Amino acid sequence: MTLTPTEAGRTRTVSWGDPVEGARRGLELSGLEYLRAMMAGELPAPPIMATLGFDLVEVGEGRAVFACEPGEHHMNPIGSVHGGLAATLLDSATGVAVHTTLGAGVSYTTLDLHVTFVRAIVPGTGRLTAHGEVLHAGRRVATAHGRVVDEAGRLLAHATANCLIL
């Protein structure tokens, strides 16, 4: 029997480092130190990055940039890339931008994320970058905004997030 591509199926293997150990070690570092150590490979990246196939490519005080090449494994039933990919990139970029402002032992969690989708993303869109930037860093709540753009700089989605400082 000969299988057609749709009958043959596709596979994708994902592996990651110990997220609990990385988080534990991260408590000893400021947010910016932790993220730089993660980018340098000294600490494991969170499993969501391997699962969805995106990377942290830049961090600085109050800002973060992630990159991702959408593929067919990100597709939804209507043939475009699932909006959850852009939402996850935006949640990551805004949250990590906030994380860069935090001291050792201080953590955060997203309170809310408001995403607006501007253009469709399809597997052939090419490399996406998600840029996050802190707008306000309070004692208990920080606000950040983010945008996902394609290689030509066209806006695909944008978001605002509020993070609770723990």
Q: Are 160 and 91 in contact (CB under 8 A)?
A: no
Nearest in space to 69 (alpha carbons), one of 84, 85, 58: 85
Residue 6 lies in a domain: no
**pLDDT (mean) for 3-24:** 83
Q: Using the structure block, give the residue that is written with the tokens 């480092």.
A: 17
Q: How far apart are CA 66 and CA 131, in angstroms?
A: 7
Residue 88's pLDDT is: 98
User: Domains in the chain: how many in total?
Assistant: 1
List 36's β-bridge partners, or say none: none
Q: What is the pLDDT of residues 141-164, one digit of tens each?
A: 999 999 999 999 999 999 999 999
Residue 45 lies in a domain: yes
Q: What is the pLDDT of residues 74-107, one digit of tens each?
A: 999 999 999 999 999 999 999 999 999 999 999 9
Q: How far apart are CA 18 and CA 43, in angstroms?
A: 9
Q: What is the pLDDT of residues 115-146, one digit of tens each?
A: 999 999 999 999 999 999 999 999 999 999 99
- Domain span at residue 42 reads 17-165
Residue 10 lies in a domain: no
Q: What CATH number is attached to the domain comprising 36?
A: 3.10.129.10
Half-sphere exposure of 4 (CA within 13 A, CB side): 2
Residue 1's pLDDT is: 47
4 confidence band (pLDDT: 50, 70, 90): low
Look at residue 138 and give its three-state secondary structure. coil
Residue 26's pLDDT is: 87
pTM of the full structure: 0.93
Residue 153 lies in a domain: yes
Residue 25 lies in a domain: yes
